[in-house]
Structure 1
Amino acid sequence: MTKNDTVLERFLRYVQIDTQSDPASDTFPSTEKQKDLARVLAAELLELGLEDAHMDAFGYVYATLPGNTTRTNIPVICFCAHMDTSPDVTGANVRPVVHRNYQGGEIVLPDDPAQVIRPEDHPDLFAQIGNDIVTAGGTTLLGADNKAGVAAIMTAVSWLQADPSRKHGTIKILFTPDEEVGRGTEHVNLEKLGADYAYTVDGETLGSLEDETFSADSVLLEVFGVSTHPGFAFGKMENAIKIASDIVNALPKNRLSPETTQDREGFLHPVRLEAQQEHAVLELIVRDFAEEGLKEKEAFLGGLVEDIMARYTGSSYKMKVKAQYRNMGEILAQHPQVVGYALKAMEKAGLTPIRRSIRGGTDGSRLSFMGLPCPNIFAGEHAFHSRQEWVSVQDMEKAAQVLVELAGVWESEV
């Protein structure tokens, strides 16, 4: 590593480090290999001159870029990205491929020609003519989610360090593990971080700024059936496998599901079913942009389960709802300058901002409700959690430029 590495050089280095997280693990981080990247980043930040850069016992990376302005009372901002990659597709032995000067058309991934990235399936490719596109070989994910954001932050830090004429206040850097398994903020030390506001760099389309997320709950439903020897089961057996299947089959087919909703529509979604004759466990997730929408869907599910269970008089069930995260827009509305300054930074970087809502969540959702208002800035990553994941080098560079401009806006506007 050198201080003058490009965003591409950094990105290629980071994606070849396997940092896949594990939702079944009860350790933190969920996989020790996430610390392999954390150590690299801490060392690189030290080389860039951030003297307090370090990885803590939980695998978080903290660092401070001191302010270089004579102005006082400038809020401390934080740039944040997550280091782990999705459990959905392997992140081991990633072989990044750079497709230079993309001229349109299909991108066939060399290690598995059945994996073809088509513009009609990825419409953002139409805006990438002449740019350099990075993919994996086709047998793994790429890891642009969220190593594109990591590379953009590291590049922005190097640019700010190299140009002292760009005045800025104190900037904190935070890299988190386990975001993909919903635990990215579980052990973050906000007192040690010492930031007033934050920005995750984990978005998709060039120029996008996301200041709203789903609110999210999980539902754990247990069904307790009546088991007996199948040869003597007449009038006695109530098979928990069949009961749980009845519940899943009763979920709406044409609404309230991920595959039938878009924009601001929420959903109910079964994510796991483990069943034996006597006992079944069904897990679902509930998503909506509004709290009342969550409650309506949970009440609907509760009524559906009650109706089905009424057919099985010898059986019983337990249903437990657990809050996961809430719409960060509720918090950001109380701090309009956080979003406003990001929009201004994008304009200074020559972009037309695209303000969006996320049909999902980020570390920023939880950070916002922990007292650190935190919208999400684009990193250029596309086709998350798949072998067709791709990112544009020029989009990552532009994300780094936006962060540099954002540091300047906070210094000059407050």
Structure 2
Amino acid sequence: MTDEKRIVQQFIDLVSIDSETTEEREIANYLIKILEEYGLTVEEDNTNELTNHAAGNLIAKLPGNKNRDAILFTSHMDTVTPGKSITPIVKDGYIMTDGTTILGADDKAGIAAILETIQIIQEEKLEHGDLYFVIMTGEESGLVGSRHIDINKLPVKYGYALDSDGDVGNIVNAAPAQNKLYATIKGKSAHAGVSPEKGVSAISITAKAISKMPLGRIDEETTANIGSFEGKGPTNIVCDKVLLVAEARSISKQKLEQQTTVMVEALEKTATAMGGTMSIKIEEMYPSYQFSKDDYVVTQAMRATTSIGLTPKLVTSGGGSDANHLSGKGIPTVNLAIGYENIHTTNEKIQIEQLITIPKLMLSIIKNSN
């Protein structure tokens, strides 16, 4: 049974350690020490050499004592900003901040649940197969830790990310892939007052191209957005260069490719028609995943949720998580809701009741494994 006092204190200890994305060294050292104290073997991989983060991913193994499924649970140790000198406050059944920083429940609630689950397994001498607890770096900077993790280090049947908002019992069984677009639009400079007709405005090209793009909610599986475009210069010179950053997301690979093509063609055709040029780089940020209620990884989560008295709910997400890369690399992984609210804001909070329920769900998954 979850020890409420212990998990709350563990969570407070975790969020009190600064770990803004790229700066995970201190939290990694803390986690290595505590996991080893619990008797797990811990490996820090070398993904930081590729990501330029201060630490690599942590892979902790609790060897099985029974011939059962090998399962993975994952969370991430980095936070968004402002995440330094966090002051957690317990009030009205919630843990929140003093309003000057984020809380870091995304995703230190997941880490606290992992540490509590390990202690319960050991205290109650529960039967289980091999359990892998992977704590990623760089989730908030584009899922870079999971992008580079070596899947051969994770000999598991399926896995669960502990990294979604919503009530415990929600199961994110589908999430989109994302393409990011980096475009450079070039026109021709000229004096804006004396001879504007000799110039080609890169800003005008970009604005007209964007007006031709379907953006926002495209359909139930697809979205697109312009993050920024920038063309700097004095008002007396026709701007000859714009940098644009955009994205497209879809659960469907075909729809993602189609939306990306539409956006690229709008830029290309408009630039050509107006006498400019366009170059673009497209970066595949992460793959999509989609599992049905009949897929084993989902079935197990639903059964476990029901066994602890909750009603499972399948959810399609519009965002990515480390589950995307793990599923794409061959480990069927879904993202489980862990109850945090208002993430990435200074109003972030988590209900204590949700926090203490996460280990119950994890233990139910482990106990119900084959």
TM-based fold match above 0.5 = yes
Mind listing any 5+ residue stretches in structure 1 that lack a counterpart? 22-30, 101-131
Match of 1:55 among 36, 40, 44: 44
Match of 2:175 among 213, 219, 224: 213
Amino acid at match of 2:20: Q
Secondary structure in structure 2 of the residue aligned to 1:375: strand
Q: Is 1:391 matched with 2:350? A: yes
Q: Is 1:64 matched with 2:61? A: yes
Amino acid at match of 1:365: N
Amino acid at match of 2:65: N
Deviation (angstroms), 1:174: 0.4
Secondary structure in structure 1 of the residue aligned to 2:264: helix
Deviation (angstroms), 1:322: 2.8
Amino acid at match of 2:72: C
CA distance in 2, matches of 1:148, 1:65: 20
Amino acid at match of 1:321: I
Amino acid at match of 1:392: Q
Partner of 2:254: 292
CA distance in 2, matches of 1:4, 1:322: 43
Q: Is 1:339 matched with 2:298? A: yes
Residues 369 and 324 from structure 1, CA distance in 2 versus in 1: closer, same or farther, beyond 3 angstroms? Answer: same
Amino acid at match of 1:218: K
CA distance in 2, matches of 1:311, 1:360: 35
Deviation (angstroms), 1:302: 3.3
CA distance in 2, matches of 1:54, 1:6: 25
Partner of 1:24: none
CA distance in 2, matches of 1:4, 1:390: 17
Matches within 5 A, 1:245-264: 245-251=207-213, 256-257=215-216, 261=217, 264=220
Partner of 1:95: 87
Q: Is 1:157 matched with 2:157? A: no
Amino acid at match of 2:36: L
Deviation (angstroms), 1:354: 1.1
CA distance in 2, matches of 1:56, 1:34: 13
CA distance in 2, matches of 1:4, 1:61: 26
Residues 83 and 293 from structure 1, CA distance in 2 versus in 1: closer, same or farther, beyond 3 angstroms? Answer: same
Matches within 5 A, 1:35-50: 35-50=25-40
Partner of 1:181: 141
What's the TM-score once normalised by structure 1's chain length?
0.79
Partner of 1:84: 78
Matches within 5 A, 1:14-413: 14-21=14-21, 31=22, 33-50=23-40, 52-57=41-46, 58=48, 59-69=56-66, 72=67, 74-86=68-80, 89-100=81-92, 132-164=93-125, 166-182=126-142, 183-206=144-167, 207-230=169-192, 232-251=194-213, 256-257=215-216, 261=217, 264-276=220-232, 277-313=239-275, 315-329=276-290, 332=291, 336-410=295-369
Deviation (angstroms), 1:35: 1.8
* Alignment size in residue pairs: 352
Offset from partner CA, 1:103-123 (integer Å, 9 cap, x none): xxxxxxxxxxxxxxxxxxxxx
CA contact (8 A) 1:264 1:289 kept: no
Residues 295 and 192 from structure 1, CA distance in 2 versus in 1: closer, same or farther, beyond 3 angstroms? Answer: closer
Deviation (angstroms), 1:229: 4.3
CA distance in 2, matches of 1:8, 1:405: 20
Deviation (angstroms), 1:283: 1.0
CA distance in 2, matches of 1:262, 1:301: 12
Residues 382 and 4 from structure 1, CA distance in 2 versus in 1: closer, same or farther, beyond 3 angstroms? Answer: closer
Deviation (angstroms), 1:239: 2.3
Deviation (angstroms), 1:222: 1.3
Partner of 2:236: none
CA distance in 1, matches of 2:7, 2:309: 19
Partner of 2:9: 9
Deviation (angstroms), 1:249: 4.8
CA contact (8 A) 2:187 2:240 kept: yes
Offset from partner CA, 1:226-250 (integer Å, 9 cap, x none): 1234455332111223332333455
Structure ranking higher in strand proportion: 2
Percent identity for Structure 1 against Structure 2: 26
What's the TM-score once normalised by structure 2's chain length?
0.88
Deviates more, 1:222-231 or 1:342-351: 222-231
Mind listing any 5+ residue stretches in structure 2 that lack a counterpart? 49-55, 233-238
Offset from partner CA, 1:276-316 (integer Å, 9 cap, x none): 42221101010122122223322332343245324422x11
Offset from partner CA, 1:258-279 (integer Å, 9 cap, x none): xxx3982522211132324222
Partner of 1:110: none
Residues 250 and 47 from structure 1, CA distance in 2 versus in 1: closer, same or farther, beyond 3 angstroms? Answer: same
Offset from partner CA, 1:59-80 (integer Å, 9 cap, x none): 21111112122xx3x3311110
Deviation (angstroms), 1:375: 0.5
